[in-house]
Amino acid sequence: MESRLNYFGHPLAGKVLRHINSAAKLVADSTLPAATQELVKIRASQINGCGFCTDMHTKEATLAGESAQRLHLVAAWREATVFTDAERAALEVAEQGTRTADAAGGVTDEAWANAVKYYDEDQLVALVSLIAVINSYNRINLIIQQPAGDYQPGQFG
């Protein structure tokens, strides 16, 4: 399987990605816990069917020390006992913020109020930004049909 377009090698795409990557770096350097960030990226990527990002973020999370059990249960986080209440709140906001067409209005007041219990304003800004950024990456990869499975941890720096 090949990508429809050599997006990552195109000069205009390089300029676009530089901005998206800058936003991603700001979020990565925020006080939102790194494990939560990876779980959110994985869940949004699963929902969107982005194999490339799911592959990337499960491998990066593994390298960072995330357990296989938690990674296997991200898709069923509601029934899993391995996530903290804070992670569960972030995953709920991520799901509702990703499934905007299904959620008929985006993130509910209830989901937001729950997240506010666990995250301060800076972390909430990081969470919202992270959800927007990973959805952008997912859309690019889905449109160009970027193949999944060959990602090597750290390959993008």
**pLDDT tens digit sequence for 15-73:** 999 999 999 999 999 999 999 999 999 999 999 999 999 999 999 999 999 999 999 99
Q: Is residue 156 part of a domain?
A: no
Q: Is residue 157 part of a domain?
A: no
Q: Is residue 154 part of a domain?
A: no
Q: Is residue 106 part of a domain?
A: yes
Q: Is residue 14 part of a domain?
A: yes
As given in the structure block, the two tokens for residue 34 are: 């790194």
Q: Is residue 150 part of a domain?
A: no
pLDDT of residue 34: 96
Contact 52, 4 (CB under 8 A): no
**Among 22-31, 37-46, 95-104, 136-145, which is the least confidently predicted range?**
95-104
Residue 156 has pLDDT above 80, yes or no: no
Q: Is residue 1 part of a domain?
A: no
Output the domain CATH number for residue 57.
1.20.1290.10
pLDDT band at residue 8 under the 50/70/90 scheme: confident
Helix/strand/coil (H, E, C) string of the chain?
CCCCCCHHHCHHHHHHHHHHHHHHHHHHCCCCCHHHHHHHHHHHHHHHCCHHHHHHHHHHHHHCCCCHHHHHHHHHCCCCCCCCHHHHHHHHHHHHHHCHHHHCCCCCHHHHHHHHHHCCHHHHHHHHHHHHHHHHHHHHHHHHCCCCCCCCCCCCC
Q: Is residue 13 part of a domain?
A: yes
Counting the structural domains of the chain, the total is 1
- Left (φ > 0), alpha (ψ -120 to 50) or beta: where does 105 sit? left
For residue 90, give its domain range. 7-144
pLDDT band at residue 157 under the 50/70/90 scheme: low
**Environment class of 122 (CB within 10 Å of its CB; exposed 0-12, middle 13-18, buried 19+):** exposed
